Structure 1
């Protein structure tokens, strides 16, 4: 009985002062106009807030609209986003019909005395209703029994993200509304005006994302207790890649170009070239660790930025290895020249004493030997393995030894100075080619 008087008293506060309110058979306020408003009596007489409108009959049609005030944060590590929304629900309750063409905004505390839908946000991790300075709820009653119920909510909703193309990715997130206890036989959800039911999302300005487009859907959720109506707001967020270009891509590219400077330094400048190679490798390692620190919980993903940093690290490390190979080949060649200087001088002196006749005789003798022993090949590089006196296993070892010397000869660098010469051309060319494939794949595929 107390609730009846309290609710009716609150309704009377919003009536014009010329009118008077009545409850039951007695009048609360007396004056010239003692006519009662029978429509408002339904709020207290025979109204059961625990039963939905049209109980036992057709389902209640609830039209929904949204105002997106802000999307404050989008977390890749937690895979969720936080949004502040104004949720407006509109339905018709024939028990609240009253005469006239007026509508009244009632005190939000009257919500406790009326039936309201049990709408909840699917995939919500945590939510709260704003209550400063009072609970941010609105209820408006129309003469035909239509009720407008609005709430201001901040919610954190899960959003499954595919970070394989990070930071050139586009994420699709959803905000889903569903009835908790009423299935489609009791309640049906519809968008008030389709895509126009959502306001404010096109005006959002986010730090890392741009809202590409959005659309509304009407779906159903199949559960053991029946089919439940569901409204879906789906929107796409494209990440702004400019920040990552300035923060990561350009510095890593400059480090790769810095490693190429060593190709223009002579092989004898060991401290200079070693310092450049080691410094660029350590700097690149630091840059890779820094890029991963912001996404510490998503290291299981091989992201696009990881691929690029890996490419840059490979080129920098390759430049350091290139110098090691060139310097080793140069030192080996210098070591081989030292013992050859003594015999070479003696040979020169002996050759000066040899006359032309002896050279011709030796040439003729050598030529006759080659003709008579056709099965024997004499070579300065290979060991003669066609000797008939050799055993079979010795011949096999000899053939394998010759092939090994031949293979090693293919990989022997005759002029170490050419290593830097070719590296000046090949390293930039391959790096540009890899960049073309990288950006084409991640931007257009």
Structure 2
């Protein structure tokens, strides 16, 4: 009896055989590459420096701490280099080989570390987040997913009108510059990254909606105006005048306390100066109310003092707001445009 097979079955059988053959070729190639391979010796040893290209894709930025002067990144960390000992362009296999994380323990890989690192974590759930890609000419890509916390020397004196440029320093732990050279290739930042306190500018721009100026500075200016309105109230109604002044002082002090809790820093910030001057202006309004009341009634001297005080306070308030606006614009003009490979944190205003 003769067996009859349909054309579809024969095609499937051929594809299965071809796939099995390709897998055998890949396995044989990987085994052959390691036959006389010494992972303890770097490529181009005693010939020329090895160039290691580095690129990052930032997935998330869960923490930016002005108090601890650090920031945390979760990213794909990719390193590219060429190891001619792993070249297999002999015609038997032309495609790239992607190997699992275990293969990186059998070949030489750069001993890269972050100089300004405080803490770093490799991701292993549900399996090690790493792969090795080998190209026929021996070019290697190693990609790992890591979370790293890095130090950043933040100067918060201009907050919230400042910008912070944070570096990421990488070196070889054991090799010298004459042995390994690092070249920066690319920095990409996910458009889904969100920070409540900072706008993040890097290879891509990320815009934010929350602004410190609308949350704190504009209400403080309104509280100062509210306290100044007491200067137009009846001079004999000292209780009502001091009530408005007290509301202004308490509002500014509460705003200052909230900012200190949310954005702690060792140095005096621009917003602290703003709050301090606002409280000082309200204090002079209270002082004017006491002096005018002390003069009593609607005397000529009391009216003269009140007129001078009104003009002086309005002038001082307007000049103060103009100076703050100019200061913010000058600092903003100094922001890098984000066209370079960097991580730039700009506080939301």
Offset, 1:172: 0.8
Superposition TM-score, scaled by structure 1 size: 0.64
Aligned counterpart for 2:278 among listed residues 287, 312, 323: 312
Offset, 1:248: 1.0
CA–CA distance in structure 1, aligned partners of residues 209 and 270 of structure 2: 12
Partner of residue 199, structure 1 = 188
Partner of residue 236, structure 2 = 268
Partner of residue 281, structure 1 = 249
The residue correspondences of 1:10-49 to structure 2 (distance < 5 A) are 16-18=19-21, 39-49=29-39
CA–CA distance in structure 2, aligned partners of residues 241 and 20 of structure 1: 52
CA offsets per residue over residues 137-181 of structure 1, 9 Å max, x none? 011122222221111111111111111110011111112221111
Partner of residue 70, structure 2 = 80
Matched, 1:322 2:315: no
Matched, 1:422 2:308: yes
Give the length in aligned residue pairs.
311
Partner of residue 160, structure 2 = 167
- The structure whose Rg is larger is 1
CA offsets per residue over residues 114-152 of structure 1, 9 Å max, x none? 111101122011010111110000111222222211111
Select between 63-72 and 200-209 the one with higher mean Cα deviation: 200-209
Partner of residue 127, structure 1 = 120
**Structure 1 residues 120 and 434: CA distance shift in structure 2, 3 A:** same
Aligned counterpart for 1:444 among listed residues 330, 343, 347: 330
**Structure 1 residues 444 and 238: CA distance shift in structure 2, 3 A:** farther
Offset, 1:280: 2.4
CA–CA distance in structure 2, aligned partners of residues 129 and 90 of structure 1: 19
Higher relative contact order (CA 8 A, sep 6+): 2
Partner of residue 64, structure 1 = 54
Offset, 1:254: 1.3
Select between 415-424 and 75-84 the one with higher mean Cα deviation: 415-424
CA–CA distance in structure 1, aligned partners of residues 235 and 228 of structure 2: 14
* Structure 2 SS opposite 1:164: helix
Matched, 1:114 2:107: yes
CA–CA distance in structure 2, aligned partners of residues 37 and 270 of structure 1: 92
CA–CA distance in structure 2, aligned partners of residues 271 and 38 of structure 1: 93
Alpha-carbon RMSD across the aligned residues, in angstroms, is 2.9
CA–CA distance in structure 2, aligned partners of residues 40 and 291 of structure 1: 58
Aligned counterpart for 2:320 among listed residues 431, 434, 438: 434
**Structure 1 residues 18 and 260: CA distance shift in structure 2, 3 A:** closer
Contact persistence 1:166–1:304 (CA under 8 A): yes
CA–CA distance in structure 1, aligned partners of residues 58 and 121 of structure 2: 15
Matched, 1:54 2:22: no
Structure 1: 5+ residue runs without aligned partners?
Answer: 1-14, 22-34, 215-234, 334-412
Matched, 1:248 2:216: yes
**Structure 1 residues 328 and 241: CA distance shift in structure 2, 3 A:** farther
